[in-house]
A and B are shown apart, each in its own frame.
Chain A
């Protein structure tokens, strides 16, 4: 039962429009830095593009997907009209306005500081204000998810919350808490400098606050993907979810261990003590737990579907799967990329191994493989699955969908594997210019060209995706029926209070954040001589 279809479609279309533009910028960046193109002569243009690409892909695109998908889940899973659609439109408007406010100064070259802000560099205040507006818009979504959940629980005492809604609200709570770090950094440290109230900034403290956001935000991006694994995939391929409780446990674990781990982005920074770095490293390792639980549960669910379709043997059932089904294909591609990306992540999270790949193209390869690959390919699957229910029109281009998903997978592999490789060779990331005529860099030229080709394949795939959706908007009207989520092998009749609500897990999330971040932040905030002069960016004379 989807009622606010225009609201959800608006979120998805704005998300995918921003995604398409940012995708073009990404490939342009690859191309002009490669041996295929002469040095453009102005690094500022490159950094301007990276700032736009990163801000759109990290702050706007996944946030809008999570919001739109969240509203769809609220209505479809709770089977009743959503409370507060006007507030939802306000949240959408804030995200849209914030995006414009942030992107205009970036386009003018007044805020080429990259989406990670990099204090003491300081750009136009409008860039930061725009990002804050986007976050405020998304917090309206967080509040709405919570209000809708509790209204439903009040009307259905003792009933298990549907898994889709449970995980959706978990994702919104994670986002609410993880965004606090960057919000503190922006409002109390960066904006006073950008607005001219101070001329110095505590760059170390700023970076600690940003790390608070920087890693858990990845799990916020990941939530729609994992929700799709559990609540869309088994239904779409004609099977059943192996375990409902396992799903709840996985999302709860993400809620707890996503937060106290961000300092693994600061292993090479001097301002945090080695003891805390070790603790963050340990908790980062535990993030593998919910992912391994998920891989097990989804593989088991897929096997159920295969055996229901007549699959036999220890591994022979794999051939019985509906491989021509785009959702099946997307899930398989997503798992492969998640596997490789996760393996690379084990290097990043290890306190010592990290030093070999710190700030190299390995990192760029890693997060593109995980986010751009494993996560975004499931965003495509979510859109394909929801589209007929949102537009009331058939989405019939199955061949095109399969081609789109396959090109995205191939493109992402061809883009990121050479990136990992040149990273091991020592190629730094976020550099505007590489002199491939130098013998020390010449060996990397072929790998970089391969990456450019991978990026070009991704651009083609992105265009195919938009074409499929537009064709869906123009197709003849059909009745797609009610939107359904996966059914578990054993549907929950009663679940323990702990697995049906969040107070305990939110308490643990906040408690662990305080344990792992409290002292480093207090220690840095108490030091008096840590501020450095700001470096204004793009302000001209």
Chain B
């Protein structure tokens, strides 16, 4: 092995040359990248050599204290979703939810199927029901009917209700062939107006955590919500996702999406 390790000795000329060249390049590159270049960047944060080195090294620094923290002038949703948040809700939770749901039947139907153009809740994702209840309670979403009903609900009550509606069987998705192919806005969105396809989050192509399943929801309800997002009267969507989408939708596209999702078995 002497042949192998000979090149690792500092006396070997290959060792001296290669280490010196490599270290030289690294040192010059570091001097340029960490000391010389940073002050050319705009802003006062690169003042001083040590500060420049820390910034260029990517050290996380607290935001400057003088900076104004921007907050919305209205109540935003406080719900944070994590995957698996509602996994493992047992039969007990579903049972408690069924009892609590008796007070919802007037609008949302005896088994979660509405006859009154209120949303159908049967089979809706637990995350969705839970988030809307929380938002009604916190005032992030407003409704003269819903808000008084949720005042007395505990967090566990809301989880139980969500588990119950998640447990109920969904009505079968039904889009009659006579209605033609799904509208463009549902399957393709409008890329140049920054509108992703509805189906990418709301079922059909994919589901995203926190997005409701829309098949079979009443058309007047879907339309009313899109318009509420559009004119800013509903503001509990996380990071303004739905408001940004709805603002760019045309009235025809809103109608088409509502009609498509609401088409029901005859």
Contacts and interface: CB of A to CB of B under 8 A. Distances in A.
Interface of A: 39, 41-44, 153, 157-158, 196, 199-200, 256, 271-279, 282-283, 286, 433-435, 438, 440-441, 496-501, 503-505, 507-508, 511-512, 515-516, 519-520, 523, 527, 533-536, 540-541
B82 interface: yes
Nearest to B33: A278
Interface in B12-60: 12, 14-15, 18-19, 22, 25-26, 29-30, 32-34, 37-38, 41, 53, 55-60
Nearest to B204: A42
Contact of B33 (A200, A275, A501): A275
Contacts of B188: 39, 41, 433, 435
B29 A283 contact: yes
A536 B58 contact: no
Nearest to A440: B192
Contacts of A511: 22
Nearest to B17: A498
A441 B192 contact: yes
Interface stretch (B3-11, B140-148, B150-158, B223-231): B3-11
Contacts of A496: 7, 14
Interface string B201-227: 000011111000000000000000000
B81 A533 contact: yes
A498 B7 contact: yes
B200 interface: yes
Contact of B18 (A39, A157, A200, A508): A508
B25 A274 contact: no
A492 to B, nearest CB: 14
B4 A501 contact: yes
Interface in B54-101: 55-60, 81-85
Interface residues of B, number: 48
Interface string B167-203: 0000000000000001000011011100001001000
A167 to B, nearest CB: 17
Contacts of B38: 274-275
Contacts, number: 139
Contacts of A282: 25, 29, 32-33
Contact of A283 (B5, B25, B59, B191): B25
Contacts of A199: 82-85
Contact of B83 (A433, A498, A534): A534
A44 B15 CA distance: 53
B136 interface: no
Contacts of B205: 42-44
A441 B81 CA distance: 37
Contacts of A519: 57-58
B57 A523 contact: yes
Interface in B112-161: 125
A540 B83 CA distance: 13
Contacts of A516: 26
27 contacts: A43-B205, A153-B4, A199-B83, A273-B56, A273-B57, A273-B59, A274-B37, A274-B58, A275-B56, A275-B58, A276-B33, A276-B57, A278-B33, A278-B34, A279-B29, A279-B33, A497-B3, A498-B14, A504-B8, A504-B12, A504-B14, A516-B26, A519-B58, A527-B60, A534-B83, A535-B208, A535-B209
Contacts of B200: 43
B16 to A, nearest CB: 11
